[in-house]
Amino acid sequence: ETGVTQTPRHLVMGMTNKKSLKCEQHLGHNAMYWYKQSAKKPLELMFVYSLEERVENNSVPSRFSPECPNSSHLFLHLHTLQPEDSALYLCASYRTSGENKRSGANVLTFGAGSRLTVL
Amino acid sequence: QKEVEQNSGPLSVPEGAIASLNCTYSDRGSQSFFWYRQYSGKSPELIMSIYSNGDKEDGRFTAQLNKASQYVSLLIRDSQPSDSATYLCAVTPFGGGYNKLIFGAGTRLAVHP
């Protein structure tokens, strides 16, 4: 258990459905992320929330809609998805440590992921 | 397009051997470098970070960074079957903060008894 919890772990949905993925972190981190992981492709950053500010990858389709009500919870709302959206969706949270503050680096902690299948 | 490149593998090594995983990156100004391990069906977990040229050792793992050649590598000594996983290289490019981490597609390592 990493301290970042994602639900559901598996989701099968039709193209006309509306569903949501949920992420909760218990680490006191100050930023949360959604990543998409497709087979044999690099992790793709979709959205970042820091102190409730949203940063997004402009290539992400509008059928994905994030929501971050507070620093511990993050949602990804899904509607009218396409089969090519089938992937592992990973939530991550971020903190700084002493060394990382000097270098400005990232230390990401990932959740276990939500495996999405769009039929 | 800033990229991080890795050989997809699989890299097959016998138990007890040294596994060498390599990663190249395109942004010469990249600042921070990470190796994540991802077991099949699991989430990535950070195993090494390195910020300056040279070697950094942690147990059986050694990260090597060469900024002039724009590569970072991970050596695993005395490889064990439990090391079999996909290893992801990640880089923070120049001027990039927490929202700019770029991942490679990963190298799959198979350690056979």
Q: With contacts defined as CB-CB under 8 Å, which chain B residues touch A55?
A: 99
Residue A114 has pLDDT above 80, yes or no: yes
Percent of chain A scoring above 90 in pLDDT: 57
User: Could you give the 3-state DSSP secondary structure of residue B72?
Assistant: strand
A110 close contact with B: CB closer than 8 A: yes
Question: Which of these, B105, B103, B96, B93, lies nearest to B27 by C-alpha position?
Answer: B93
Per-residue pLDDT of chain B (113 residues; tens, 9 = 90+): 668 999 988 999 999 999 999 999 999 988 889 999 999 888 899 999 999 999 999 999 999 999 999 999 999 999 999 999 999 999 987 766 656 788 999 999 999 99
A106 close contact with B: CB closer than 8 A: yes
Q: With contacts defined as CB-CB under 8 Å, which chain A residues touch B46?
A: 107-109
What average pLDDT does chain A have?
86
Q: What's the confidence (pLDDT) of residue A101?
A: 45
Residue A98 has pLDDT above 90, yes or no: no
CA Rg value for chain A: 14
Residue A50 has pLDDT above 90, yes or no: no
Choose from A25, A30, A43 for mutation: most chain B CBs within 10 A: A43
Which of A44-48, A94-98, B100-104 bottoms out in mean pLDDT, i.e. has the lowest?
A94-98
